[in-house]
């Protein structure tokens, strides 16, 4: 029997999220149209150089759309951005959408070879090079037939500002059907080549309404945008802030100290951080003495927040905490562990969950082998349904067929279960589960036990080949920069774990590292660790 989870809140349709003609916001290009009509002179963006109003952002996105039409970019054509978080990307996002094109953001942390692959695979009609990325002009020319503009001064490449200024500030107004592609992002590629994820136009309205209800942006909010726009969470934050009339702070930070300074200086009310960054903030000298009264919400994801870190963060920052779980393929967050969940001291076990499904986003659990539906409480593979599921992987029908089941259910690749109250609990990536001597070992459970140990800053558990057991868990530990960290030993870590959980789940070896490899989303690259420590037990 299919297990559907009732959303924690009803679908909301805030009155301000209406276009001037009274239609509800359904598509991402509608977000700036509605907000510019409601509060045109309010601050939309805070950048290092200036502030930008919603009316100005709307007008510049109109110019971008018209500039696309002028060079022959058609409906469905990809328009790529390679650059940092910048106002010009939002002009591309909204303006490209108004013209019917498909905005595509390229991961700026890729190597030249990987960037060339993504450019060749996406086959863009236009590439915009952001500040600091003009040096990629030759790479773009050799790997694509795309037209090119740059925010840097590059010989032979049109200037972005001049190109934009030459266009009319009139909304192109191209209509887009609900199941037409609206955005393409590349999966983080924890294994193999990244895949282009094509997201439908209808995916955004329902998700944004749910975020409005749960996150609580308003016109007095200052939302910090630390996550890159080549990640769905970065774009989702920008869209939600704009829809609700919040100012979006777009000032880069190069360190934890920078992040802290920016949050204090600009009186940030909302931010999205990965748990490791929260932990790093708490380690800053004097952080407890700062005034955090402006901060209302910290949303976290990408990994579980260790309970010891969460308790300290609640004490220091005094704000509400939210946890979200989702994928690029599901148009971002599909669950939310709400502020009420974090405050409910009688249900602390729920802090180990990722919350309940967002409005209009059904979830179920299937057997990862037979793909048959499983009842509540039974572990299996989590699946997501509804209109926010991707259209498919770009030019990769085989991968799409493997990921999307009949009926439109997206296989997340994550192991977990759903309890009787509708809370979703994650085990691990299905492929990360360790089978040791016939027993299933879930790395997340082992990591939760180890991260509570004094001296352990971060930990990842992976399976490596074992002659006796077939596969055995090993732990890769990052020490804290104090006496407790310096005192850690392999034997001590193993003994600590054996006091917490069953012995067969505990690591048989421990490696110490300065850092864990991770992708741009903050997810640990366990395939890298498996490769590095493949022969640890041989």
Please give the Cα distance from 118 to 124 (Å, whole number).
10
pLDDT at 328 over 50: yes
Please give the Cα distance from 397 to 394 (Å, whole number).
8
123, 75 contact by CB (below 8 A): no
pLDDT at 217 over 60: yes
Q: Do domains 54-175 and 442-532 have the same CATH topology?
A: no
Please give the Cα distance from 221 to 294 (Å, whole number).
9
Residue 343: the pLDDT is 82
Model pLDDT for residues 159-215, shown as the tens digit of each residue: 999 999 999 999 999 988 889 999 999 986 555 678 999 999 988 877 777 777 678
The C-alpha angle with vertex 379 and arms to 374 and 380, in degrees rounded to 5, equals: 70
| pTM of the shown model | 0.84
Taking Cα atoms as reference points, which of 438, 445, 434, 401 lies closest to residue 526? 434
Q: Mean pLDDT over residues 425-446, rounded?
A: 84
Query: Look-up: residue for tokens 């809370």?
Result: 423
Binned at pLDDT 50, 70 and 90, residue 304 comes out as: low
* Residue 461: φ, ψ to 5°: -115, 130
Just give the CATH number of 222-429: 3.40.50.12780
Please give the Cα distance from 124 to 73 (Å, whole number).
10
Q: Mean pLDDT over residues 291-320, rounded?
A: 88
Interhelix angle for 275-282 vs 307-317, to 10°? 60
Which of residues 28 and 479 earns the better pLDDT score?
A: 479
pLDDT at 534 over 80: yes
82, 115 contact by CB (below 8 A): yes
Just give the CATH number of 442-532: 3.30.300.30
Please give the Cα distance from 323 to 414 (Å, whole number).
17
Residue 490: the pLDDT is 96
pLDDT at 276 over 70: yes
Which of residues 333 and 189 earns the better pLDDT score?
A: 333
When the pLDDT of each residue in the chain is averaged and rounded to a whole number, the result is 90
Residue 9: the pLDDT is 37
Name the CATH architecture for the domain at 54-175: 3-Layer(aba) Sandwich (3.40)
Residue 512 burial by Cβ neighbours in a 10 Å radius (0-12, 13-18, 19+): middle
Please give the Cα distance from 85 to 89 (Å, whole number).
7
- Give the single-character DSSP code of 53: E
Model pLDDT for residues 366-413, shown as the tens digit of each residue: 999 899 999 999 999 999 999 999 999 999 999 999 999 999 999 999
Q: Provide the token pair at 69.
A: 């039409």
- Could you give the C-alpha distances from 436 to 41, 71, 260, 451, 526, in angstroms and in order? 61, 59, 43, 22, 17
135, 157 contact by CB (below 8 A): no
In the chain, domain spans: 54-175, 222-429, 442-532
Residue 22: the pLDDT is 61
Q: Is the dihedral of CA 80, 106, 334, 253 positive or negative?
A: negative
List the 297-300 sheet strands across, edge first: 51-53, 43-46, 247-249, 222-224, 270-273, 297-300, 320-327, 332-337, 356-357
Please give the Cα distance from 480 to 7 (Å, whole number).
39
CA dihedral 158, 162, 165, 167 (to 10 degrees): -20
461, 303 contact by CB (below 8 A): no
pLDDT at 5 over 50: no
């Amino acid at each position: 029997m299919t297990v559907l989870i009732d959303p924690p809140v009803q679908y909301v349709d805030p009155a301000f999220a209406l276009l001037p003609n009274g239609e509800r916001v359904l598509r991402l290009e509608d977000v700036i149209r509605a907000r510019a009509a409601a509060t045109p002179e309010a601050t939309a963006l805070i950048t290092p150089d200036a502030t930008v109003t919603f009316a100005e952002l709307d007008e510049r996105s109109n110019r971008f759309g018209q500039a696309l039409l002028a060079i022959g970019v058609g409906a469905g054509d990809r328009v790529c951005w390679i650059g940092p978080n910048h106002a010009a990307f939002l002009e591309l996002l909204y303006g490209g959408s108004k013209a019917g094109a498909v905005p595509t953001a390229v991961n700026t942390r890729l190597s030249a070879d990987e960037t060339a692959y993504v450019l060749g695979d996406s086959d863009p009609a236009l590439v915009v090079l952001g500040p600091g990325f003009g040096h990629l002009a030759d790479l773009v020319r050799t790997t694509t037939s795309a037209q090119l503009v740059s925010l840097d001064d590059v010989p032979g490449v049109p200037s972005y500002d001049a190109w934009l200024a030459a266009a009319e500030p009139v909304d192109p107004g191209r209509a887009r059907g609900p199941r037409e592609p609206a955005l393409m992002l590349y999966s983080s590629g924890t294994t193999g080549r990244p895949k282009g994820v094509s997201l439908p136009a209808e995916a955004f309205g329902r998700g944004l309404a749910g975020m409005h209800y749960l996150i609580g942006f308003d016109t007095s909010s200052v939302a910090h945008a630390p996550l890159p726009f080549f990640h769905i969470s970065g774009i989702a934050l920008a869209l939600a802030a704009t829809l609700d009339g919040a100012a979006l702070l777009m000032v880069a930070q190069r360190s934890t100290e920078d992040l802290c300074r920016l949050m204090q200086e600009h009186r940030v009310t909302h931010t999205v951080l990965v748990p490791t960054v929260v932990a790093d903030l708490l380690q800053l000298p004097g952080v407890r003495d700062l005034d955090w009264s402006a901060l209302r919400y910290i949303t976290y994801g990408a990994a579980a927040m260790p309970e010891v870190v969460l308790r300290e963060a609640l004490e220091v920052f005094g704000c509400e905490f939210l946890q979200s779980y989702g994928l690029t393929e599901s148009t971002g967050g599909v669950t939310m562990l709400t502020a009420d969940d974090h405050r409910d001291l009688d249900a602390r076990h729920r802090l180990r969950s990722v919350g309940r499904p967002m409005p209009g986003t059904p979830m179920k659990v299937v057997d990862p082998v037979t793909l048959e539906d499983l009842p509540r409480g039974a572990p299996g593979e989590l699946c997501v349904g509804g209109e926010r599921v991707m259209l498919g992987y770009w030019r990769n029908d085989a991968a799409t067929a493997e990921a999307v089941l009949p009926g439109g259910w997206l296989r997340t690749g994550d192991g977990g279960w759903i309890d009787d109250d509708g809370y979703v609990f994650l085990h691990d990536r299905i492929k990360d589960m360790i089978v040791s001597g016939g027993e299933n070992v879930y790395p997340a459970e082992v990591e939760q036990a180890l991260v509570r140990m004094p001296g352990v800053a971060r930990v990842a558990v992976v399976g490596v080949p074992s002659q006796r057991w077939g596969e055995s868990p090993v732990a890769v530990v990052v020490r804290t920069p104090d006496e407790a960290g310096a005192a850690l030993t392999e034997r001590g870590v193993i003994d600590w774990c054996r006091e917490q959980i069953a012995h067969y789940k505990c690591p048989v070896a421990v490696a110490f590292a300065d850092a864990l490899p991770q992708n741009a989303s903050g997810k640990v690259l366990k395939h890298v660790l498996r490769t590095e420590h493949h022969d640890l037990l041989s």
